[in-house]
Amino acid sequence: AETLLEVKDLSVVYTSEEGIARAVNGITFSIDRRQTLGFVGETGAGKTTTGLSIMRLLPEKAGQVEKGQVFYRGEDLLRLPESAMRELRGSRIAMIFQDPISVLNPVMTIERQIKEVLEAHDDHSGTNMEQRVDNLLKLVGIQPDRKKDYPHQFSGGMKQRIVIAMALACDPELLIADEPTTALDVTIQAQVLDLVEELKERLGTSMMIITHDLGIVAQVCDTVAVVYAGEIVEQGTVRDIFEGRRHHPYTEGLFGAIPDIKSEARRLSPIEGAMPDPLDLPTGCKFHPRCRYCTERCKTVHPPVCRVGTHEIACHRFKEE
């Protein structure tokens, strides 16, 4: 398969009065065309920061890419001029966020907002804007005759659909979705997920889905990367990870409560202890203070990544086995 996005050894820090927070620490992964990657982990693992770094939307001054590369179709996005990046954002790569309210303009009709996205990226010669807005709304399951309505006239789930319509307006090749259903209640979550799945099938969009919801991963993802303290501790196919071929003690803990891929258990199971403070990360394996298999070596030596086929694990214990 053709690789669309390749993130190599990415590290990101946030500098504040409190010190340097190491949010992302040498993350490497790739997404092929038409593939959906689930980026899973607890809050504070560095998932959103990774997404924002790819889009080059880190908070100015505070957030900084320390090292690494983000290749999109072979071109390093981190080295593109801002103008070229702006061009790419929204047209080739789009991102949707947890909270649709923050994206929508309350005093503009949804038609106007979708048109703005279309206009920003198109030479609109010969394109019928009206028709395109209608088609996008239909695609996300909203009656086109509601296009003159304002955001507040829609429910939370509908607002997220509108945001998805805006993200899809320019037919992006890659969609980064950051907790797209977290702010929605359960039945609406299911609808939005069905929509995401359908779009993936119909449009063939590649996706990176940032989530702590394993139900989402099981339903729409092909591969999974498990993130802990700014590192990927395990990566593999959804099948491998859900069918018990998972090896990292952290993954084991997260997925432990889930008997199989069709299970109703959606949330990550809690593991004793807390995610380490990025201002003061542990030495060696960052999971060692919470790991029941921790040895002396784990406390001082950072575990290298081991590859077994397409599967990757960063754990001393796995290597020994």
Q: How far is the CB of 301 from ligand SF4 (least distance, A)?
A: 8
Q: How far is the CB of 273 from ligand SF4 (least distance, A)?
A: 12
The token pair that represents 168 in the structure block: 């899809």
313 touches ligand SF4 (CB under 6 A) = no
Name which position in 38, 172, 249, 278 contacts ligand SF4 (CB under 6 A).
249
291 touches ligand SF4 (CB under 6 A) = yes
Q: Which is nearer to ligand SF4, 151 or 303 (CB)?
A: 303
Name which position in 98, 298, 311, 312 contacts ligand SF4 (CB under 6 A).
298
226 touches ligand SF4 (CB under 6 A) = no
Q: Which is nearer to ligand SF4, 184 or 227 (CB)?
A: 227
Q: Which is nearer to ligand SF4, 149 or 277 (CB)?
A: 277
Name which position in 285, 305, 310, 321 contacts ligand SF4 (CB under 6 A).
285
Q: Residue numbers of the site for ligand SF4 (CB under 6 A)?
A: 248-249, 285, 287-288, 291, 293-294, 298, 303, 315-317
